[in-house]
Amino acid sequence: AHIQLRRGMAKSKFEYVRDFEVQDTCLQNCWVVVRVDGRNFHRFSDQHNFTKPNDARALLLMNHCAKSVMEEIKDICLAYGQSDEYSFVFHRKSNWYKRRASKFMTHVVSQFASSYVFYWNEFFPEQPILYPPGFDGRVVLYPSEQNLKDYLSWRQADCHINNLYNTVFWALVQKSGLTPAQAQDRLKGTLSGDKNEILFSEFNINYNNEPVMYRKGSVILWNKVNEISKKVIKLPHEAEEKEVEVCRVRNQPVVLHCDIINDAFWEEHQNVLSAES
Amino acid sequence: AHIQLRRGMAKSKFEYVRDFEVQDTCLQNCWVVVRVDGRNFHRFSDQHNFTKPNDARALLLMNHCAKSVMEEIKDICLAYGQSDEYSFVFHRKSNWYKRRASKFMTHVVSQFASSYVFYWNEFFPEQPILYPPGFDGRVVLYPSEQNLKDYLSWRQADCHINNLYNTVFWALVQKSGLTPAQAQDRLKGTLSGDKNEILFSEFNINYNNEPVMYRKGSVILWNKVNEISKKVIKLPHEAEEKEVEVCRVRNQPVVLHCDIINDAFWEEHQNVLSAES
Amino acid sequence: AHIQLRRGMAKSKFEYVRDFEVQDTCLQNCWVVVRVDGRNFHRFSDQHNFTKPNDARALLLMNHCAKSVMEEIKDICLAYGQSDEYSFVFHRKSNWYKRRASKFMTHVVSQFASSYVFYWNEFFPEQPILYPPGFDGRVVLYPSEQNLKDYLSWRQADCHINNLYNTVFWALVQKSGLTPAQAQDRLKGTLSGDKNEILFSEFNINYNNEPVMYRKGSVILWNKVNEISKKVIKLPHEAEEKEVEVCRVRNQPVVLHCDIINDAFWEEHQNVLSAES
Amino acid sequence: AHIQLRRGMAKSKFEYVRDFEVQDTCLQNCWVVVRVDGRNFHRFSDQHNFTKPNDARALLLMNHCAKSVMEEIKDICLAYGQSDEYSFVFHRKSNWYKRRASKFMTHVVSQFASSYVFYWNEFFPEQPILYPPGFDGRVVLYPSEQNLKDYLSWRQADCHINNLYNTVFWALVQKSGLTPAQAQDRLKGTLSGDKNEILFSEFNINYNNEPVMYRKGSVILWNKVNEISKKVIKLPHEAEEKEVEVCRVRNQPVVLHCDIINDAFWEEHQNVLSAES
């Protein structure tokens, strides 16, 4: 008992260390973007035999994890992913955890990481996961809607450039038998047009016919869906129970693969960035 | 090709958005603590039937995840965990990722979260994991060694206070049949001495004999171990291959359960906070 | 020589301390407001016999200092002042000193402070300045034009509320002979309407006829003026020198006293916040 | 009245803009250094005919301003100045204005700037001040006493290196008639020993005999002094008033010119950085 008392006192004696935490509030009225990136995913994809240049299973797993993050954190109004990265946009009016940057990034990145392992088997039924992967995360603020759209355009343009490059690179390696070094050499200094030309003339590939998820990445938005479920009820004036259909409107994250650089996307989805969404 | 060119240009047009990232460098020469906390672990522990007041499997899983984090991030010189939280201490001289706070916390928290799911089955072979858990993380800086020790003492004092409370609370509920509300009422205003007395007189429990992992939490340190492995070699002047034992010194995270509030711990482990460690 | 050499080496040995400076860049594309406040100006105004409730000389000196700040720092697009405070707005596109917050606030506040003493005599020819006054400063960011306008409206609304209160308070003290405590008591709980009524019925003052600088504060904008100067030139084909008038367009800070809460002000001065200004 | 009411409401409508201010608390238990630097002092010193390489009047004015800052802000435990810069050290335990960085730097820099103009005439009686000078300020944190001492050593080493250079440079210009470009050329690549040699052989100057304020800069510490003042009192049992001497201990900033790089200084002034000072 005596010892415990001392400890109880000790606690308050030590509690001053809480004052060393500093506030990291995100500026009000700015769009908050959390970007998650795979750590050492080059190695991870090698060891788990990812198909090159794109592994559909891996991309679908990424999308599933992103949806899992959004289901947990409703203040995210949009997400965009490609390759081993995913960006999550919190609405400018969000006051989630008082807009603390560390809360934004650690909740998102940990939910993403645990989901990645949790759902792995669903997408890679024949490839066991060998070790727990790491991710990093960061927070960036965008004061205007245009800045936010430009951020997302930047990531989609990055997707395009990398995917075009990788598509040609792996065609040269896998189909023409070049070594990686030779393929790299061949592509040095080429423009987009040159790469398209190589694909078409040497491999009979029209790049624009490649799967749209590879070329454009994935956008996730909230969508209202009617969820119909069956329920057994017993009405007061009836002897028998009976089964009825119950319809409930539910918000659900939905994955799209489309251009988000041009205005058409934003015109079609005006409510995404509006105050009420 | 024409479209690609436009996109290529578009990329650089959008790249200005990178300037919105702000530096979040941790002050030089300070101890960097990353604390990870389970998100909604009250619910998680209920749904996964954690034993009350302590579930050894859950604590051992936490320890295993913390070791996995340390194996990935060698600049962590010490970790301390209790309940659903774990604190990781980066050495004051660490220059890992240029001391960017977001790197520190997101790498730690994501590695912890993915490890939690990855190693779950090892510790809960008969209880499947139902959904991917979330964690949050934060970074706190401590300028002096004393501040750091006081931080760790604060967490261990917290462990003690909560565990003593929970031990009595669940004894009252599980063994005396009180409702949670009655147990809470019974404990209102009691001091440590009173709680020890209840445990002893009513349940014949000497609190100091409770498992030390529950009372003190877990400390993880690096320990040099001799790792002996067998290797088949062929010596130049010998016809046959032969198997030899190879001994290598390896740094390994080791879990301890002991008092870290008193000086004895730090005297015994002087190298932990020293510059060379 | 030997000693000097040691010192030269010493310098680089110490230079590591520069790494302890942290970046404090203001988020891109946000309006940067620096607000300067007089420190202990209650005492300062007493000791320098400021007229109550308003001292025109003091307000004109504040305006003059603000203009002096703007002449030094051209990236300020607007300033608003009242009582012993002044707010300076840097354009959202400003890249002055790489948008470092400490540069913004210390340059503004030091220029303001030195100007205050420098120009004192011009505005208080019969009242010597007794000691050097202090000011404090802060930086606040506003992501949208509406946020910025609301900030300025907040300061002007504050000016109105304080000035109405002070006008009645000092009338009660100076003209009705109430003690400060009695005047304060009399005003407790009164609304704006009540205060107007007291002014009108007891002192025959129509508040709306009070000087507009007291009621609205001061706005400073840049204005293009034609500056005509005389210059003596000698034309090549003429024997005599002759004096000509040279006209140059110059940007000059101009003080206004007007409502900035309603839209009319911003419609009239559309270029103030536009990108080109 | 109606208008006032609307405005009253308007105020609270606008008050949300206060939430855009962010906390800039300095980490607990760190030494807080505020460094003030003259803005464009090259031009300022030219226009006010400062003596080269050192103007004693200007340095003494700087010292006086620094003392004025310390008298206003008692939490400063030490200051060090040289050339057109001054560093102020707040004690690691200081909780002045809740350790807000903006308060530290703006109060110091504004008090310094207003003092500079206020006391100018005292030090430059025959040279009027032509315009209000600007200064900038910054805050840097140092977690350990050694870091702080190294910071101060860095500034004093800087003083030494610049002053040695300037002393030779101006000797070459003023006494040997070199142009500034020629003098610069002559000194390119020279070490401290070379510069001492030039001073001695060409100008018969022993650098170590140069005024210590120029070579070492100025340190300001608090010093307890006995302040004796005369007071007229009337004792109850005496008929006559009489004059008595009253002695009061007062803390006063005192300027020193000495080495602060070696340990001797800190051994002599142990209380400066101790907790009680």
SS (H, E, C) chain D: CHHHHHHHHHHHHHHHHHHHCCCCECCCCCEEEEEEEEECHHHHHHHCCCCCCCCHHHHHHHHHHHHHHHHHCCCEEEEEEECCEEEEEECCCCCHHHHEHHHHHHHHHHHHHHHHHHHHHHHCCCCCCCCCCEEEEEEEEECCHHHHHHHHHHHHHHHHHHHHHHHHHHHHHHCCCCCHHHHHHHHCCCCHHHHHHHHHHHHCCCHHHCCHHHHHCEEEEEEEEEEEEEEEEECCCCCCEEEEEEEEEEEEEEEECCCCCCHHHHHHCCCCCCCCC
Distance from C-alpha of C62 to C-alpha of C44, rounded to nearest angstrom: 14
Tell which of B16, B23, B28 to mutate to test the C interface (max C CBs under 10 Å).
B28
Q: Are D195 and D168 in contact (CB under 8 A)?
A: yes
Each of the 277 residues of chain D gets a pLDDT tens digit; together they read 233 334 444 558 999 999 999 999 999 999 999 999 999 999 999 999 999 999 999 999 999 999 999 999 999 999 999 999 999 999 999 999 999 999 999 999 999 999 999 999 999 999 999 999 999 999 999 999 999 999 999 999 999 999 999 999 999 999 999 999 999 999 999 999 999 999 999 999 999 999 999 999 999 999 988 888 888 888 778 778 888 888 888 899 999 999 999 999 999 999 999 965 4
Instruction: Report, in angstroms and rounded to the nearest whole number, the Rg of chain D calculated over CA atoms.
Output: 24
> What's the gap in Å between the CA of B58 and the closest CA on chain A?
16
Spell out where A143-241 has E strands. 218-233
Closest residue by Cα to residue A18 from B261, B219, D28: D28
* C20, C105, C129 member nearest D106 (Cβ): C105
Chain B: residue whose CA lies nearest to C100: B22
Task: Determine whether the interchain pair B150/A16 forms a contact, defined as Cβ–Cβ distance below 8 Å.
Answer: yes
> What's the gap in Å between the CA of C230 and the closest CA on chain D?
24
Residues 141-160 of B with CB under 8 A from A: 141-142, 147, 150-151, 153-154, 157-158, 160
Taking contacts as CB-CB distances below 8 angstroms, the residues of chain D near C72 are 134
Taking contacts as CB-CB distances below 8 angstroms, the residues of chain C near D133 are 114
Output the CA torsion sign for B247, B250, B256, B260: positive
Tell me the per-residue pLDDT of C174-218, one tens digit each, with 9 for 90 and over: 999 999 999 999 999 999 999 999 999 999 999 999 999 999 999
Amino acid at C21: E
Amino acid at C212: V
Distance from C-alpha of B105 to C-alpha of B100, rounded to nearest angstrom: 9
Q: Are A97 and A72 in contact (CB under 8 A)?
A: no
Parse chain A into domains and list their residue ranges: 31-218
Distance from C-alpha of C220 to C-alpha of C222, rounded to nearest angstrom: 7
Tell me the per-residue pLDDT of B187-238, one tens digit each, with 9 for 90 and over: 999 999 999 999 999 999 999 999 999 999 999 999 988 888 888 888 778 8
Closest residue by Cα to residue B82 from B207, B216, B192: B216
Task: Determine whether the interchain pair A192/B107 forms a contact, defined as Cβ–Cβ distance below 8 Å.
Answer: no
Q: Please name every residue paired with D15 in a beta bridge, in sequence order, or none if there are none.
A: none
Q: Please name every residue paired with B142 in a beta bridge, in sequence order, or none if there are none.
A: B31
Coil, strand or helix: which one is B87? strand
In this complex, which chains have at least 3 CB pairs below 8 Å with chain D? Answer: A, B, C
Tell me, what's the pLDDT at D241? 84
Tell me the per-residue pLDDT of B10-53, one tens digit each, with 9 for 90 and over: 558 999 999 999 999 999 999 999 999 999 999 999 999 999 99
Distance from C-alpha of C9 to C-alpha of C11, rounded to nearest angstrom: 5
In this complex, which chains have at least 3 CB pairs below 8 Å with chain A? Answer: B, C, D
Mean pLDDT score of chain B, rounded to an integer? 93
In this complex, which chains have at least 3 CB pairs below 8 Å with chain C? Answer: A, B, D
Distance from C-alpha of A249 to C-alpha of A225, rounded to nearest angstrom: 6
Residues 1-40 of C with CB under 8 A from D: 1-2, 4-5, 7-8, 10-11, 14-18, 20-22, 36, 39
Q: What are the φ/ψ torsions at residue D136 (nearest 5 degrees)?
A: -120, 165
Query: What are the Cα distances from residue C78, in Å, to C86, C144, C158, C268, C272?
Result: 11, 16, 18, 14, 7
Domain topology for A31-218: Alpha-Beta Plaits (3.30.70)
* Count of all residues that appear for chain C in the document: 277
Taking contacts as CB-CB distances below 8 angstroms, the residues of chain D near A22 are 23, 25, 27
Chain B: residue whose CA lies nearest to D92: B143
Distance from C-alpha of A80 to C-alpha of A156, rounded to nearest angstrom: 8
Closest residue by Cα to residue C117 from D117, D199, D260, B133: D117
